[in-house]
Every structure is written in C-alpha cells, then in structure tokens.
Structure 1
C-alpha cells in the first residue's frame, strides 16, 4: 500500500510517500480501508516533536516511534480479528488514531475498535474525516474542562480554525451565548456557524472591551494568557487547547495564582463514546464540519505546510479521490 512515512523529526520535508506492506489485523485488530483523513495541529506538533515533551509520551525519544503519521480517518472495515465484537467488514467508520498508533496518512490502517465509531450517516467520508480529533477536543474542552452551561457567555478564540469551528457550534448546542474571535475574512463563516457575536481581532481587542466571559476556549494561543484573565469572570474558566511549550507553562504558572479564575490546559482524550456523541450532533444537523482544502495522499507535505501557516478555515482533508488536486 502507499503511505506517508517519517523517519526523523523535523519539517514536512521529511514526509515521504512510499510503498509499505499492508498491515494485517491481529485478534483484537480492525483493518480499515481509509477513504479520507484530515490534518490536525497535533500532527505537525508530533512531526516536529514540539513541544519537546511529546518525545516522552509516545512520540519516540530520538526518532518518531510511529513511522506513518496522521490521526483522523474515515473509511470502511476490511477485516476484523476474532476478538472484535462491535464491528464487521463493510461497516463505515471514523475515528482518531492518536492513542492507538497513528497511521492515518495511508491507504490502510490496523487499529483498535476502541478508536472507531460508526460514521455519521448524513456526511461523506471526507466530511467525517474532518471531525474526530478536533470535534472531540472541542466537546471535552467545553463540557468537561470548562463546564459550559446554558446561559453562560463563551468566548472562542481561533473560531475559524479546526477546533474553533466545532467549538462555536458545540457551545451553541449547550445553549451558551457565543462570541467567536477570528480575522476579517472569516467573520461570515463564524457567523454562519451560529456565533451570537463575532469579533475581528485585527480591529477590536476583545480583552479590553469590558465584556466578561464565563468560559474562554483559546484555540489560537497567540497572545499573553494574562490578557484573557482580565475578561474572565470570577468563577470562570480559561481553557487552552493546543499551543507551544511556553503557552503550556504560562497557563500552569498563572493557574497557581489565579484565585477564583481557573486557568487550564486541555489534553484531548480520544474515545468512542465521545465520537458517538459528536456523531449524533452531526446527524441531528446541529454540528457540521467545515473543509477548507482537499489534497491527495501525495499532497500530505503540502497540506501540513498549509496548516502550519495558520490560514486554514476549518479542516484540511486528505482523500483517495482523484479529484483532489493541491491548490496552485
């Protein structure tokens, strides 16, 4: 099969398209023919081992432990091991492989059934592949970490990105009043996702507006954490989703002296139960994935570079379709 392979940490220049053996499922494994995958910030953070501590939590100390990168997939079950009970050949599935060996940037992957859930019936494979990591991260950050509730004011910084587009919609399903922060060119997109208020960060500094928020989900991490603390209500929660080592450390340190204002870093916990919860929201028409660009498997390096540029609106998808041509 064809797959993108990485032998050393570094830039997208280290990603190579190669022929490697098609995996075979063991007794507990599921073989999936991948119809589509998507690129996440976590993919390029792992690719570069940035933050450095990723080397110690499954990445590999001196070189990538998992040679085929990529977390999000959607596809069809080809074969299952004898101990697999929830899935069977022909099932359409989607999932996040980041806790189960990665391997999304390939034509096939073997993984655990715990990484997978039935694909939402009303979306394509490409749309389904855009969902798992980002949507579950947004759900957990709002529901579990921020404990967002009906009537609360929720601020989503980076509202037009992969996590942000899902966070705006999921916060609305929780009946919160949502403010989305993004650039000028993305205002209409964020508004179309249901945001009650949209702020253009190139013109308005939301941290000096005088408005306070119960929950702040920061999926951009481009300014000092202390700025957001100013507009966080007493008893409110700031949640950082992703970011650099420096951002993680600042939240950890500031959180020690933040009093009644909670400052937290959210680390996503992939699981099939939350995938199913997100799937129900999609099937109910309450959440939709936003796709910016589509690339073929050979275009993964370019797709990663585009995501690293921080210009992506929603998700960047990798597809088997021959119609996927990298943008000029």
Structure 2
C-alpha cells in the first residue's frame, strides 16, 4: 500500500512517500481503505515536535524520544471497510466510516486497521465521504470543552479563533445548544463564519474590536492570542474561561478559580469516544453542523499541505484525498 512516513522530527520535507504491506486485521479489527485524511494541528506538532517547553519530557515519552513512535501520521480519516475480523459485529464490508486516531495516528496510508471499538462510526449520509474526514477531531474537541463548560440555552459565549477547525465547530455546537454566540476572527473570514450561524461576528484586526466586546458567560479561546487580562474584563463574575491551547494556569487564574470568581477550564487530552462521534454524526445529519473546509490536497501534495498548515492561518480544515 502507498503510505507517507515521518522517520524523524522536522520540517514538512522530512515526510517520505513509500510502499508498505497493508495491515492484517485481528479478530476484532476492521481494515479500512482510506478515502481521505486531514492535516490537523496534531499532525504538524507530532511531525515537528512542536510542543510547549513545560511538557517536552512527557511529550518525548508519548510521541517518541528521538523520532515519532508512530511513523505514519494522520489522526483523522474516512473510508470504506474492506475486511473485517472474524469476531467483528459492529461493521461489515462496504460500510463507509469516519474515525479519529489520536493515539495511534496511521491515517496517512492507503489502508488502516482499527478495532471496531475504537473511535469509528458510520459516516453521515448527507455529506461526501471526503468531507466526513474533517469531522472527527475538531468537532469532538469542541463538543468536549463546551459540555465541560456547561454551556446552556440563553448563555452568551464568545468564541475567539472562530475560523479554525475547533472554533468553527464550537460556534455551531454552541448555537445548536441555544447560546447567543459571538464569533471572533479576521476580516477575511467574517463572511464564512456568519454562514455558520453566529449571532455576532467581530474582526479582531479592527481598531474598534475591544470596544465591541461585551460581558459574556463564557469565553472560549481556540487560538491563544487573546491575553487573559482582556478575557477577565469580559467574563461575568462566576463565568467560565475555556482555553483549549494552554494546559498551564497562571497564579491569577488559579486564585480566581479557587475563590469562585471564575470557572477555569484549560487544555487537556480529549477522550476519544464513539459517543462523541455518534452525536457529531447525528448533528451533521440534522443539518446543524457543517465542516468548514479550507483547502483540498491530493496525497502526493502532502508536504505542500503541511507547509500550508504550518503557516498558522488555516480556516477550518485541510483535507487530503487518497484517490
């Protein structure tokens, strides 16, 4: 099978095209012919070992000390089941599926083996199989943190970084819950974000940006470029601060949390569950959740796709097709 391997940490140019034997499914495994994958931030960070200094030692142990432990990257995928283990009951040959593989990676290949109990579900029927590849990690992340923040109908929520993968899903999921959503992005993305249902869209490059901010029940930071000093001013007393990019609280944040003045939710590993993915599928089929696709690349353009994501300006998701 064709595959792309990452034999060492580094720039996109370390990625190598190769041919490997396709995996053989075990008794409880399904063999998926991959239709599409994505270039997620998790992939570019694993490739470049781009992690905060505070977590470099545990990250080395998790990702690989001298090179990526999982040489085939790729955490999101969609495809078709082509073989099942003899004890598989949840899927059959011919099923079109989508999956997340944050722990194992492995989607940058023509075939991947996953357990039927992994984070894999039937793909939504009302979108293309290629588009479904972009549904798994970003949407699960948004859903996890919004639920942890107890977002409810009628609350006012600010989503900073609304044009990214997680941010664009957070806007839609919060709106579906019934919150009043203010989305923050650059002027080039405002029209796209308006189509996702945001009640208000603010341009962070505008000189009037800080004057346009109100007081919110929750501030959801999907891109860590809004200083906490600014966030504190716009979160009501007892409100919630969610930052999905930074796991380390400052002394001020800890004090506000301990004294009950603010609920503090910081970055953490998002549990991969079928339940999350099944609920995301249901929202897509109900027409309340739409993947925001920025760029499409072919498999032989993977290095170029990584270069694009490395620039840090992707809008939504970057999808890579294998055929």
- Counterpart of 1:235 in structure 2 is 238
Cα deviation digits, residues 225-278 of structure 1 (max 9, x gap): 232122111121111123xxxx433x3544311232122223322111110000
Preserved CA contact (<8 Å) 2:160 2:220: yes
Distance between the aligned counterparts of 1:234 and 1:28, measured in 2?
A: 50
Distance between the aligned counterparts of 2:243 and 2:114, measured in 1?
A: 29
CA shift for structure 1 position 168:
0.7
CA shift for structure 1 position 84:
2.2
What's the secondary structure of 2:255's corresponding residue? coil
CA shift for structure 1 position 207:
5.0
Answering whether residue 196 of structure 2 is matched by residue 193 of structure 1, we say yes
Classify 1:278/1:210 alpha carbon distance in 2 versus 1 (closer, same or farther; 3 Å): closer
Distance between the aligned counterparts of 2:4 and 2:321, measured in 1?
A: 13
CA shift for structure 1 position 133:
0.1
Classify 1:253/1:77 alpha carbon distance in 2 versus 1 (closer, same or farther; 3 Å): farther
Preserved CA contact (<8 Å) 2:158 2:218: yes
Distance between the aligned counterparts of 2:136 and 2:208, measured in 1?
A: 31
Distance between the aligned counterparts of 2:69 and 2:218, measured in 1?
A: 36
- Counterpart of 2:45 in structure 1 is 45
CA shift for structure 1 position 208:
5.3
Q: Which moved more, 1:42-51 or 1:252-261?
A: 252-261
- Counterpart of 2:28 in structure 1 is 28
TM-score by length of 1: 0.91
Cα deviation digits, residues 79-112 of structure 1 (max 9, x gap): 122232211111111010113x111111111112
What's the secondary structure of 2:77's corresponding residue? strand
CA shift for structure 1 position 184:
0.6
Name the Cα RMSD after superposition: 1.6
Answering whether residue 73 of structure 2 is matched by residue 75 of structure 1, we say no
Q: How many residues align?
A: 314
User: Where do 5+ consecutive residues of structure 1 fail to align?
Assistant: 322-328
Distance between the aligned counterparts of 1:65 and 1:180, measured in 2?
A: 37
Cα deviation digits, residues 117-166 of structure 1 (max 9, x gap): 1100111111100110001101111112x111000011111101111111
Distance between the aligned counterparts of 2:82 and 2:67, measured in 1?
A: 31
What's the secondary structure of 2:300's corresponding residue? helix
TM-score by length of 2: 0.92
Distance between the aligned counterparts of 2:18 and 2:191, measured in 1?
A: 40
Report matched runs for 1:161-176 at 5 Å: 161-176=164-179
